[in-house]
Chain A
Amino acid sequence: MRIRTTPKTAVALVAGLALVAGACGSDDDSSDSADDAEEAVDEAEETLDSVADEAEEAVDTAVDDTEEATENSAAEETDEAAGDGETIRVGIVAPSASNDLAFTQSMVDSVERVEAERDLEVAITDGTFVVEDAAAAIRGYAEDGFDLVIAHGSQYGGPLEEIAPDFPEVSFAWGTSVDTFGLDNVYAYTTNADLGGYVNGVMAAQLTESDVIGVVGPVEVGDAKLYVDGFSNGVAATNPDVTVNVNYIESFSDVALASEAATSLVANGADILTGTAQMVVGATGVATESGLPWFGTQSNQTPLGEDIVVASQVYHWEIVLNQMLDSLEGGTLGGETYTLTFENGGLEMEYNDAFELDEAVRASADEAVAGLTDGSLTTGVTE
């Protein structure tokens, strides 16, 4: 059973309408702008309080919906009651849309795969690109007794470190990170994104004709940095003469800036592009427009450009989710770190069949994957 909510949407809609309606009710006839400003500040403060309350209410509503749906489902599907264990309630808080073809979708797709094998109740709160909204949702799930609350974003570490000690009976997980804050009820999960980055780099180095490759990154942290560094090292290991120009735009969400960064990379000679994080949809547009090959990561990005996407490194978070759930069922609430790798099946290269990739290039990629899996090859990336 899975319930997806976007409190941000509901709150924004309600708050927007309420603000406009509330403003219409104003009986202020003062012409003094200073008074107006003071009143505006007061109203803004009230509004912020109201928005915060509504955010909590939205999470509560989501939880109630989940419980209700689960009860109904249980009544309807008694014959299919799962296993002999108790249902585990999982709340997920993620920064972007569930179908972003990137970071959030990689988790949502993984949860769907886990749900097929285990008895879970899952509630997802997506679109919480504002960290304060995410913190409210995390706390909301914990207060409502969810067994595992996943904060899917490295930017959520700060609030999670504050919230987790208040709920010692609730298990929390967050990523990408390796830091559990020394807390017994916090799991950390990460991905060796440099592995797939390296493989993509091996292929890109063989496809480039201009010997210049462009990379659009968000902020130089976490799996984004790992991917970019792995990609650069894969290129260098294959053809040291190729230049990799990297442009971190300092934003996970600015699509327009990602688009312009890609344009800048192309203008400076890049004939292959890659990138990571949610805002790359802007960069893939430039690749499509210019007819340049694109290498993806996080999710299979072929839908963003069926003619230009060569391959994508796909995150299978179900590997770490199952490890966490096994540990949770064993009575351990946290304190451990899990990592996606080629070896444990958490990372996988998916190729776009519509892109005619040279067999020799594909073979070199397969060889790199094999080497990175058995440990005979390393990416050279150190965190």
Chain B
Amino acid sequence: MWSDFFTVSVFVATLASGIRLATPFLLAALGEAVGQRSGVLNLGVEGVMLIGAFAAYFTKLKTESTVLAVLVALGVGAVMGLIYAFVTVIMQAAQGISGIGIYLFGLGFTDLLFQKQVGTPQPIPKLAKVEIPLLSDIPWIGEIFFQHNLLVYLAFLLVPVAWFMINKTTFGLNIRAVGETPEAADTLGVSVNLTRTFTIVIGNTMAGLAGAALALEVGIFQQNLTAGQGFIAIALVYFGAWRPVGVMSGALLFGIVSATVLTLKTLGIVEGAASSLLAMAPAILTIVVLVVVSRRIAAPAALTRPFDRAAS
């Protein structure tokens, strides 16, 4: 059994699977990281992912257009971002409880829409793989990295984009400033509320895209499709110490460990109670790393703190 596991083909398939599994986590966590760097916690990522997933699924079901499905998911994500920004930035509501509200809304709303508009689960064509010319032909490497659907490539391309935006642009400087000392940023002429509104919209749009990536990858929608992925994405932001590369590392680790567990089960290497225990491995590993990271790196100082210009 173990000899089957230690083969090149299994190794390659497991890593490729890990990358696919990591994609929704990565998209959602990248967006959430941007928001948290500006001081806004959004526990509603899961709900927005569900809304994005349903929007993409339903659009694809009715129009058969993948491009339109992704655009609609992005759009509803942005709208949810505007709503969340209104609640937490303009109205200065407590971020934690508002996020839970967004999650519950997404959970109930998508179930309602699915029951009323679709009913019985109807499959849609899965997102097609795009093999990158030349690169996909490289032995092992090609299958692991260059034979995925477009949203997988997009997710990983957004990592350097997010890094550049946060660290090398004026907007990124503003994000970091309002996330650490919003009062000082305000004194220097940075609009705290506008900056946070932008980051919230970015984060929710990414969450909508993450939902679309999930629905289009599995080719179906079902009640509670995301099954907690949005909450894991939030944990991965802490895991990655609010840095895009760290977030990507966390998503990949979670995805690859999950894929490895699946492979071990597929090959019958672990069975019964051991199999059940092993299924918890990704979550346990995440918690362990989370504890280590949280001891070393501090969160943005103004995280979860509403900004009130009059009071500052």
A interface with B by C-beta (< 8 Å): 6, 8-20, 22-26, 28-29, 31, 33, 36-37, 39-40, 43-44, 47, 96-97, 99-101, 105, 127, 129, 214, 219-220, 245-251, 253-257, 259-261, 263-265, 267-268, 278-279, 281-282, 284-285, 288-289, 303-305
- Give a binary string over B262-304; 1 marks a CB under 8 Å from any A CB, 0 the rest: 1101111000100110010000000000000000000000011
- Give a binary string over B93-122; 1 marks a CB under 8 Å from any A CB, 0 the rest: 110111011111111110110110001111
A96 & B223 in contact (Cβ 8 Å cutoff): yes
Q: Which residue of A lies closest to B128 (CB)?
A: A289
Known: A12-B108, A33-B305, A260-B21. A281 touches B222 (CB 8 A): yes
Q: Does B71 contact A (CB under 8 A)?
A: no
CB-defined A-B contacts under 8 Å, sample of 22: A9-B111, A12-B105, A16-B106, A17-B105, A18-B101, A19-B98, A20-B83, A36-B304, A47-B97, A97-B111, A99-B119, A127-B223, A249-B279, A250-B279, A255-B218, A255-B220, A255-B227, A256-B217, A257-B262, A261-B265, A279-B222, A288-B219
B265 & A22 in contact (Cβ 8 Å cutoff): no
Q: Which residue of B lies closest to A261 (CB)?
A: B262
Q: Is the interface of A mostly helix, strand, loop or mixed?
A: helix
B218 & A99 in contact (Cβ 8 Å cutoff): no
- Give a binary string over B236-276; 1 marks a CB under 8 Å from any A CB, 0 the rest: 00000000000000000000001100110111100010011
Q: Which residue of B lies closest to A220 (CB)?
A: B272
A39 & B94 in contact (Cβ 8 Å cutoff): yes
A101 & B120 in contact (Cβ 8 Å cutoff): yes
- Give a binary string over B189-232; 1 marks a CB under 8 Å from any A CB, 0 the rest: 00000000000000000000000001001111011110101000
Known: A13-B109, A26-B94, A36-B94. A19 touches B100 (CB 8 A): yes
B101 & A245 in contact (Cβ 8 Å cutoff): no
A305 & B123 in contact (Cβ 8 Å cutoff): yes
Cα–Cα, bound, A269→B288 (Å): 35
Known: A26-B92, A304-B121. A260 touches B17 (CB 8 A): yes
Contact count A vs B, C-beta below 8 Å = 218
Known: A256-B21, A304-B123. A13 touches B105 (CB 8 A): yes
Cα–Cα, bound, A47→B220 (Å): 32
Q: Does B61 contact A (CB under 8 A)?
A: no
Q: Does B35 contact A (CB under 8 A)?
A: no
Determine which of B96, B104, B223, B265 lies in contact with A15 in the assembled complex, contact meaning CB atoms within 8 Å. B104
Q: Count B interface residues, CB 8 Å.
A: 68
Cα–Cα, bound, A206→B219 (Å): 29
- Give a binary string over B12-46; 1 marks a CB under 8 Å from any A CB, 0 the rest: 01100100110010000000000000000000000
Cα–Cα, bound, A260→B94 (Å): 37
CB neighbours of B13 from chain A (8 A):
264, 267-268
Known: A19-B98, A256-B21. A6 touches B115 (CB 8 A): yes
B292–chain A nearest beta-carbon distance, Å: 22
Cα–Cα, bound, A6→B109 (Å): 12
Determine which of A40, A247, A257, A289 lies in contact with B258 in the assembled complex, contact meaning CB atoms within 8 Å. A257
Q: Does B311 contact A (CB under 8 A)?
A: yes
B126 & A289 in contact (Cβ 8 Å cutoff): yes
B115 & A260 in contact (Cβ 8 Å cutoff): no
B222 & A97 in contact (Cβ 8 Å cutoff): yes
Cα–Cα, bound, A31→B308 (Å): 9
Q: Which residue of A lies closest to B225 (CB)?
A: A255
Known: A26-B92, A281-B121, A304-B123. A47 touches B259 (CB 8 A): no
Determine which of A16, A36, A97, A268 lies in contact with B104 in the assembled complex, contact meaning CB atoms within 8 Å. A16
Q: Which residue of A lies closest to B12 (CB)?
A: A267
A277–chain B nearest beta-carbon distance, Å: 12
B214 & A256 in contact (Cβ 8 Å cutoff): yes
Cα–Cα, bound, A198→B235 (Å): 43
Cα–Cα, bound, A321→B308 (Å): 62
Determine which of B17, B91, B109, B267 lies in contact with A263 in the assembled complex, contact meaning CB atoms within 8 Å. B17
Closest 5 CB pairs of A and B: A12-B108, A19-B101, A16-B105, A23-B93, A16-B104
B151–chain A nearest beta-carbon distance, Å: 13
A285 & B268 in contact (Cβ 8 Å cutoff): no
CB neighbours of B263 from chain A (8 A):
264, 268
